[in-house]
Amino acid sequence: MNARSSIALALALVASPALKAQTLETTYRTNGPTVQAAFESVRGTLQTVSAVIQREKFVERGARKISLPEDIAYGTVISEDGFILTKASEIGDGIGLVVVVDKKPYKDVAMVAVDPSWDVALLKISATGLTPAKLVVELPDPERGTWVVANGASSRAKRMPQVGIISANAREVLPAGGAVLGVGLKEDEGKLVVEEVHEKSGAEAAGIKKDDVIVAVGGQKITDRKQLGEAVEKHRVGDDLELTVHRDGADIAIKVRLAGRVDVFGEEKTRNDMMSGSFSSRRSGFPRIIQHDIVANSKGMGGPVLDLDGRCLGMNIARANRCETFAIPAADLRSLADRLITQATAK
């Protein structure tokens, strides 16, 4: 039985009047053995073109310390010589990682580039002869209703496919909460003084310090929060804001890249979030995504999204909520991968 006939079987069973009052037998559910077996060819592709990203943990067992790697994300194999793309915010600083491709673990893992706008990290392992994902870059974005397959839970040796459909047209996902500078301010005798610089903000990255006085934005003099807020509101996450800061008796020009409010201050859970299990901490502010309904968890991001022929339609990037998972479309992923590899190899 192939994947398409299995889908037809599953739908027929659901539609059968005799079974309407019954729960679908386990064997015919999308994670049941019959349906899983029908996707064996796609599972085989997942096995080779996806990676499991683990963080090595050492646990004391008596007098010994043993390594117990923990799955923290998935990855997409992008080149034969060991470049792997994954979700940046799930792997943190990239230290202590183990990458498993097919059944082979690689402990010599380097995080060689990061793109904050897509929340994507490029990893490099010392490998040759890997099987890259076949990115579908020559066709339009997949239509709603297209069947897709992605990594479900992975055992130490085997990937388990999960099945769903494309559920919305490709689109941009704007940052939740808008762009922020990332500073706390006070107005003091006509001066706009920095009281606090928030972690992970563009202000921190640009070197803004406590007690700096912000005197101009884009060359225009400002003296209060309202003027600064209006200037920030005209920009989007990822834009650069040209500030003039007065510090130690001198004016300094500083360029600050605006971050998303959620990235700096976090996000409050809605009622839907509380019912959605483990969704991604970063789930907005993506330049373009395709959306499907595979029920993954936050640690399941970074892996490839395949069609029924094993071609790669994109890479999962965010478990958004109970019914929505976002993936970077294949063409955008190809462009992003090429740019990050060029950036990494030029160092």
What percentage of the chain exceeds 90 in pLDDT?
60
Select the more confidently predicted residue: 203 or 23.
203
Whether the predicted pLDDT of 12 surpasses 70: no
In sign, the C-alpha dihedral spanning 124, 129, 130, 136 is: positive
SS3 at position 159: strand
CA distance 20 to 14: 7
The arithmetic mean of pLDDT across residues 273-299, rounded, is 85
pLDDT at 343: 94
pLDDT attached to residue 13: 47
Task: Please tell me the total number of residues recorded for the chain in this structure.
Answer: 347
Q: What angle do CA 269, 273, 274 make, to 5 degrees?
A: 85
- 332 band by pLDDT with thresholds 50, 70 and 90: very high
At residue 339, what is the residue type? R
Backbone angles phi, psi at 227, to 5 degrees: -65, -40
Across the range 7-12, mean pLDDT stands at 52
Side chain identity at 263, as an amino acid letter? D
Which is more confidently placed, 274 or 2?
A: 274
Dihedral sign, Cα of residue 216, residue 221, residue 224, residue 228: negative
| Environment class of 38 (CB within 10 Å of its CB; exposed 0-12, middle 13-18, buried 19+) | buried
Name, in order, each residue with C-beta under 8 angstroms of 168's C-beta and a sequence gap of 6 or more.
Answer: 144, 290, 291, 324
**pLDDT for the residue numbered 345:** 92
Res. 52: pLDDT tops 90: yes
Over 60: is that where the pLDDT of 14 sits?
no
Residue type (1 letter), 168: A
% of the chain with per-residue pLDDT over 70: 92
Range from 94-103, 263-272, 285-294 carrying the lowest mean pLDDT: 263-272
Tokens 């029908």, residue? 38
Q: Kindly report, residue by residue over 287-328, the tens digit of the pLDDT.
A: 999 999 998 888 889 999 999 999 999 999 999 888 899 999
**CA separation for the pair 183, 200 (Å, rounded):** 11
Which domains are delineated in the chain? 27-173+281-346 (2.40.10.120), 179-264 (2.30.42.10)
Give dist(CA 296, CA 50) in Å, integer: 15
6 or 116: which carries more pLDDT confidence? 116
Identify the residue with better confidence: 212 or 17: 212
The predicted pLDDT at position 158 comes to 84
The least confident of 29-38, 80-89, 158-167 is 29-38
pLDDT of residue 264: 81
Neighbours of 222 (CB within 10 A): 19
Give residues with Cβ within 8 angstroms of 63, minimum separation 6: none
**101 or 28, higher pLDDT:** 101
Higher pLDDT, 32 or 342: 342
End-to-end Cα spacing for the chain: 49
CB atoms within 10 A of CB 220: 10
Looking at mean pLDDT, say which of 6-20, 148-162, 213-227 comes out highest: 213-227
Q: What is the secondary structure of 92-128 as a DSSP string?
A: TT-TTEEEEETTEEE--EEEEEEETTTTEEEEEES--
The per-residue pLDDT of the chain, averaged, comes to 88
Look at residue 5 in the predicted model and tell me its pLDDT: 58
How far, in Å, CA of 37 to CA of 345, rounded?
Answer: 41
304 vs 188, more confident:
304
pLDDT of 7 over the 80 cut: no
